Chains A and B, each alone.
Chain A
């Protein structure tokens, strides 16, 4: 890993970012994060499955007030941030949205990226995944 991340288990890669999900060989259910057993069928062990990095916003909101700990903000002052669900086709993933507020809408094409989430013990930025507007995505 070339950057510090909130939880390495979430990522199949960071440059470029890829999310590490899992897929059931029995019923094709895809989950995020990875898990051991299928939540839908009894068929057994889930296989590692890297999630698509492009999708569309399925729903969104803005976190207007500062959450209580264990939430950790990045800077001195709290800045509201966007959160949503992104439809990746095989699965819908909840994520921070690195999208300007005026552009937030259901159906907006987005692409996986990384954003700094908070500062670690040693002062370095700890990153998490996010989706930002996909400028090439209107062809979708």
Chain B
């Protein structure tokens, strides 16, 4: 790919994540957009293409009412947990196709307390699946985690190590929702939800918004001292044999997560090896998910996670800093904003201006990964 066609992130903005009871989705999104524009040194009328994603908080393109009726093309996307990735891939594609020289991407959401409950029929399942108490996302995460720990000889304590690190990073991040550190023992002793997972090992639905400003080629370098190159972005859906939520049956030896495909494609496209990653964000809907995804994305070998976690490799100062802003565990998961939060954090890390804990030593290669129902994954490789 020529330099002229390279897509860069030249500005980022974020609205604090949390319950945000008194702020609606559009207001959060508007603030994130204005912050991202200011960060890029641009005005809304400079933006030639816009993409917005929200799962439940409204139609993103109506933001033009607040930002200005400039006539800009504004595409709405809604892809579940991959909404942020889908928004980013859409905007980057438009820039590469020469539709515009600058683009804005925004993701926002606001979910009710204890959201994500769905009627069985919407998943093509009979009522029996819900009435008999099997249609719960938390059960799925627990069942998948227990099997994974068993197969790879990882002790349950590793789940607490993940959550403790997330909360530790969250405590230092002014944009995070959960900002209180907890010792591992307290996490292990937390109210059981679905063992082996306790309450502190799960993220919660929340509210938040993130916006990014993109530009191509030389324009990016004019706008930003240290633009972050979108080296690759891959989006994948599940294949046969993937262990997904709300599955009354599985094929023997299920194992083909869309995360494996999305990550491999992103690294291949970027020409980067997973071992070259200096800072990573992986989907941590629960502690077990992070452990599973570290290996599915190729960042480590299956079974190697406990050594990495115990040895501090995934800490901010470690060899492979993971979820440096506290991840979903500390930020909650406003679906439309969550994937872009990861990109926001990695961009700031690569520019050595993290809002929370900063990875030392000028990191140069970053990676993000989202995974969600119904079996979708999006990964990016970012570089300076």
The chain A residues found within 8 Å of chain B, CB to CB, are: 6-7, 9-10, 21, 29-33, 39-40, 58-65, 67-68, 70-72, 81, 83-85, 87, 89-94, 96, 106, 117-118, 128
Complex Cα distance, B135 from A70, in Å, reads 10
Query: Given A59-B146, A106-B146, do A91 and B133 touch, yes or no (CB 8 Å)?
Result: no
Contact A61 B194 (CB under 8 A): yes
Complex Cα distance, B147 from A92, in Å, reads 13
Task: Write out the residue numbers on chain B whose beta carbons fall within 8 Å of the beta carbon of A58.
Answer: 147, 250
Please, how many residues of chain B have a CB less than 8 angstroms from a CB on the other chain? 36
Complex Cα distance, B139 from A60, in Å, reads 9
Contact A61 B251 (CB under 8 A): no
| Cβ of A68 to closest chain B Cβ, rounded Å | 5
Complex Cα distance, B119 from A93, in Å, reads 21
Partner of A61 from B131, B132, B139 at Cβ < 8 Å: B139
Task: Write out the residue numbers on chain B whose beta carbons fall within 8 Å of the beta carbon of A62.
Answer: 192, 194-195
Task: Write out the residue numbers on chain A whose beta carbons fall within 8 Å of the beta carbon of B119.
Answer: 70
The chain B residues found within 8 Å of chain A, CB to CB, are: 114, 117, 119-120, 126-128, 130-136, 139, 142-144, 146-147, 150, 191-197, 240, 247-252, 254
Contact A64 B147 (CB under 8 A): no
Query: Given A62-B194, A70-B119, A118-B131, do A92 and B143 touch, yes or no (CB 8 Å)?
Result: no
Residue of A nearest to B191 (CB): A64
Contact A94 B247 (CB under 8 A): yes
Task: Write out the residue numbers on chain A whose beta carbons fall within 8 Å of the beta carbon of B191.
Answer: 64
Known: A32-B248, A62-B192, A94-B248. 18 other contacts (CB 8 A): A6-B127, A9-B126, A30-B249, A32-B249, A39-B240, A40-B251, A64-B192, A64-B195, A71-B131, A71-B133, A72-B131, A83-B134, A83-B139, A84-B143, A91-B249, A94-B143, A94-B250, A106-B147
22 contacts between A and B (CB under 8 A): A6-B132, A21-B249, A30-B249, A32-B249, A33-B126, A58-B250, A59-B144, A60-B143, A60-B146, A61-B143, A63-B139, A64-B195, A65-B193, A71-B130, A81-B133, A84-B143, A85-B143, A89-B252, A91-B249, A94-B143, A94-B249, A106-B147
